[in-house]
């Protein structure tokens, strides 16, 4: 069992780290020294190459009132060959008028991996949330001999992958997203599944503030959709939530392509570029 606890606060116009606790293999680093926006930026790293069999991770993040916290990742999260499986539970609590952003690198489930992930977010009034996930097919470009036979690519050879995301607003469940992939039992290339794509990505945005003016949610969605039209070989769609938010789902064939898109959408939403034109995101999505 590995644990990561982070608590952030706000004082004199700046967000800061109040307290943290990490156990092996986790480590965190402050990466916002060059920023002057008053937000807290930290990078999550690991001394392990990925999740091994029987690894269980628990992450707890508490964001106090007025604090804005962005957590970044160092590299792809790899899931290795397993018999029992591994798991991760992430719990995030946002106090009123706080913001949290987490757009991690893609997950790479390798052959025979078994993984269960659960993310629980609790928001109060006047909060902003940016959350994403990118699931790859495995080591798509790998090459190895097994046995006496050259094998190119490791595509959908994992055993089981599950991800559950629950978002609560004032203790009321407003979004539940559940993804289960068992490629050995059910083909992922059929209709309503991945349909021959190898990567699936989800981007969630929620804002419990009263938004007025030109940059309401519908305008943000229009900008994002327009920017994604420039991308090649992807399929995408946005579902608007009953609350003030949306879920963007993207299918593609490259982890870097989807990650770069999400990074720029994240920057667009996080920076609140209220004075820029609606014609598109500055530095729109590129491969």
Mean pLDDT of 162-184: 96
Cβ pair 108, 137 in contact under 8 A: no
The Cα–Cα gap between 51 and 194 comes to 25
Domain that holds residue 82: 2-196+203-213
Q: Which two tokens stand for residue 131?
A: 């959350």
Q: Is residue 229 part of a domain?
A: no
What integer pLDDT is reported at residue 189 of this predicted model?
A: 87
What integer pLDDT is reported at residue 36 of this predicted model?
A: 87
Q: Which two tokens stand for residue 181?
A: 């992939």
Cβ pair 236, 228 in contact under 8 A: yes
Q: Is residue 71 part of a domain?
A: yes
Q: Is residue 247 part of a domain?
A: no
What integer pLDDT is reported at residue 278 of this predicted model?
A: 33
Average pLDDT over the chain, rounded to whole? 89
Summarised one tens digit per residue, pLDDT across range 104-132 is 999 999 999 999 999 999 999 999 999 99
* Res. 272 pLDDT band, cuts 50 70 90: low
The Cα–Cα gap between 77 and 46 comes to 10
Mean pLDDT of 43-52: 93
What integer pLDDT is reported at residue 192 of this predicted model?
A: 80
* Res. 32 pLDDT band, cuts 50 70 90: confident
Q: Is residue 240 part of a domain?
A: no
Higher pLDDT, 270 or 216: 270
The Cα–Cα gap between 287 and 278 comes to 22
- How many structural domains does the chain have? 1
What integer pLDDT is reported at residue 91 of this predicted model?
A: 98
Summarised one tens digit per residue, pLDDT across range 7-23 is 999 999 999 999 999 99
Q: Is residue 95 part of a domain?
A: yes
Residue length of the chain? 287
Q: Report helix, strand or coil for 193.
A: coil
DSSP letter for 232, please.
S
Q: Measure the N-to-C terminal CA separation of the chain; round to a whole number of Å.
A: 37
Summarised one tens digit per residue, pLDDT across range 60-88 is 999 999 999 999 999 999 999 999 999 99
Q: Is residue 236 part of a domain?
A: no
Summarised one tens digit per residue, pLDDT across range 122-160 is 999 999 999 999 999 999 877 655 566 655 678 999 999
| Position 281 pLDDT exceeds 60 | no
What integer pLDDT is reported at residue 25 of this predicted model?
A: 93
| Position 31 pLDDT exceeds 50 | yes
What integer pLDDT is reported at residue 213 of this predicted model?
A: 39
The Cα–Cα gap between 121 and 92 comes to 5
Q: Is residue 66 part of a domain?
A: yes
Q: Is residue 100 part of a domain?
A: yes
Kind of pairing between the strands at 68-73 and 99-102: parallel
Summarised one tens digit per residue, pLDDT across range 207-252 is 998 654 334 788 899 999 999 998 999 999 999 988 789 999 999 9
């Amino acid at each position: 069992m590995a644990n990561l606890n982070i608590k952030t606060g706000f004082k004199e116009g700046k967000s800061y780290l109040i307290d943290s606790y990490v156990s092996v293999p986790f480590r965190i680093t402050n990466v916002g020294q060059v920023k002057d926006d008053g937000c807290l930026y930290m990078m999550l790293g690991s001394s392990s190459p990925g999740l091994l069999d029987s690894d269980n991770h628990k992450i707890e993040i508490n964001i106090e009132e007025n604090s804005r916290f962005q957590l970044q990742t160092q590299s792809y999260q790899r899931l290795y060959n397993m018999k029992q499986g591994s798991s991760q539970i992430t719990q995030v609590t946002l106090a009123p008028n706080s913001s949290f952003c987490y757009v991690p690198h893609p997950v790479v489930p390798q052959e025979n991996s078994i993984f269960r992930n659960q993310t629980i977010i609790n928001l109060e009034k006047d909060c902003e949330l940016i959350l994403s996930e990118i699931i790859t097919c495995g080591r798509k470009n790998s090459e190895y001999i097994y046995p006496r036979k050259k094998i190119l690519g490791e595509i959908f050879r994992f055993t089981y992958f599950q991800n559950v995301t629950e978002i609560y607003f004032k203790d009321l469940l407003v979004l539940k997203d559940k993804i289960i992939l068992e490629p050995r039992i059910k083909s992922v290339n059929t209709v309503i599944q991945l349909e021959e794509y190898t990567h699936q990505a989800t981007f969630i945005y929620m804002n419990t503030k009263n938004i007025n003016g030109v940059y309401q949610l519908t305008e943000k969605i229009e900008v994002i959709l327009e920017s994604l039209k420039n991308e090649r070989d992807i399929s995408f769609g946005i579902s608007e939530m009953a609350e003030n938010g949306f879920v963007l789902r993207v299918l593609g064939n490259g982890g870097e392509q989807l990650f770069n898109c999400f990074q720029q959408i994240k920057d667009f939403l996080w920076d609140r570029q209220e004075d820029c034109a609606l014609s598109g995101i500055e530095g729109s999505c590129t491969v």
